[in-house]
Amino acid sequence: MLKKITTRSVIYSLIVLLIYFVLNALLTGHAWDGMVISKSALTVEYCEFNNVDRFFHQSMNTYSNIVYFFFGIFICQLAWEDQKNRAVIGRNRLEQFPGLSYLIGGAFIYLSVGSAFFHASLTWVGQRVDMNGTYGLSIALLAICLYQAFYKWTLTDRLKTSVVGLLILLIVAFYPLALFISSSILLPVFILSIWLLTLINYVQFRKQRSILLAISSITLILIAFKIRQLDVQKINCDPYSVCQGHSVWHLLAGLSSFCGYAFFRFTPTPNRQ
């Protein structure tokens, strides 16, 4: 099953990349005329050269968001399989709640589109959507952590649907709310909360959890933040290179989030769950 899902995810991702290439070849930077430029563009926040004549102002930082799409479509397919097999005995707690997998898979895809939109246009609204996608992914992963850490919670199917609906509304609400709280505060709070709940769940079920996935998730995001910082500081910066620090940030941040999800999804859970 996983092999088929992976193959399909690669194919879908390549199709999206092809669409991106075609758009970037056919359209010009004038497509974004009239839209408010982001502060990031005005301050030249990232190393990659801002080619305002191209539809994708920052090509590599735009294309690299395909990693989020890959993980998102992969998880959504897992959720579909979980939904079809919910009656199978022995399914773990997250497999029995495919709505959460759909939510985080959708959040990955939303972030992929939002971040690509931002780096392609370097507009204010693009940056807002990008950050909302980041918060959306964080909220979805935090919800999974809470659901697993509080394993004695028993939710009916109707309540599960309501929970997912409320989480979607919360993500939407963060679009305006995020304007009042700096991301330098919000993101660390989300990340530390996720780490704490992951640790709690590992202590609860250490024989049924992969410590390697937890460590990988934490290590990858720490490395990602360091590389992002170096990119912003223009250290070892080559604006015209195909390898951009912020693109690597996309890759490592996506891998970190996926490992965080996999920590709960791909390991068996005990009977008491």
Q: Tell me the per-residue pLDDT of 61-82, one tens digit each, with 9 for 90 and over.
A: 999 999 999 999 999 999 999 8
Q: Does 271 map to a domain?
A: no
| Structural domain of 220 | 2-265
CA 133, chain centre distance (Å): 7
pLDDT given for residue 1 in this prediction? 82
Instruction: Report the pLDDT averaged over residues 113-137.
Output: 96
Q: Does 190 map to a domain?
A: yes
Joined together, the tokens standing for residue 64 give 């690299």
Sign of torsion over alpha carbons 186, 257, 265, 70: positive
Cite the DSSP H helix spans in 27-95: 39-42, 59-63, 66-84
Q: Does 270 map to a domain?
A: no
Percent of the chain at pLDDT exceeding 70: 96
pLDDT given for residue 41 in this prediction? 84
Which residues does the annotation place in the binding site for Ca(2+)?
A: 48, 50
pLDDT 10s digits, 128-141 = 999 999 999 999 99
pLDDT given for residue 89 in this prediction? 63
The 8 Å CB, 24+ separation contacts for 1-6 are: 1/81, 5/74, 5/77, 5/78, 5/81, 6/74
> What is the tally of structural domains in the chain?
1
Which residues does the annotation place in the binding site?
A: 48, 50, 119, 246, 250
Q: Residue 65, SS3?
A: coil
- Residues 75 and 140 sit within 8 Å (Cβ to Cβ): no
Residues 6+ apart with CB under 8 A from 233: none
Using CB atoms within 10 A of its CB, is residue 110 exposed (0-12), middle (13-18) or buried (19+)? buried
Q: Does 63 map to a domain?
A: yes
Which tops the pLDDT comparison, 258 or 180? Answer: 258
Nearest residue to 71 (alpha-carbon basis) of 265, 223, 268, 269: 265
Q: Is the pLDDT of residue 192 over 90?
A: yes
- Residues 130 and 118 sit within 8 Å (Cβ to Cβ): yes
Which residues does the annotation place in the binding site for Zn(2+)?
A: 119, 246, 250
Percent of the chain at pLDDT exceeding 90: 79
Nearest residue to 62 (alpha-carbon basis) of 20, 31, 12, 125: 20
Please, which pLDDT band fits residue 182 given cuts at 50, 70 and 90? confident
Q: Does 105 map to a domain?
A: yes
Q: Is the pLDDT of residue 206 over 70?
A: yes
Q: Does 59 map to a domain?
A: yes
Phi, psi of 203 (to 5 degrees): -65, -40
Q: Does 272 map to a domain?
A: no
Q: What is the chain's mean pLDDT, rounded?
A: 92
Joined together, the tokens standing for residue 262 give 């996999």
Q: Is the pLDDT of residue 271 over 80?
A: no
Instruction: Report the pLDDT averaged over residues 196-206.
Output: 92
Specify the CATH number for the domain of residue 185. Answer: 1.20.1070
The Cα 177–Cα 171 span in angstroms is 10
CA 178, chain centre distance (Å): 17
Which tops the pLDDT comparison, 256 or 177? Answer: 256
Q: Is the pLDDT of residue 230 over 50?
A: yes
pLDDT 10s digits, 79-106 = 999 898 877 766 788 888 999 999 999 9
Residues 6+ apart with CB under 8 A from 253: 220, 221, 224
CA atoms within 13 A on the CB side of 144: 32
- Residues 124 and 109 sit within 8 Å (Cβ to Cβ): no
Q: Residue 242, SS3?
A: coil
Which tops the pLDDT comparison, 91 or 50? Answer: 50
Q: Does 141 map to a domain?
A: yes
pLDDT given for residue 138 in this prediction? 97
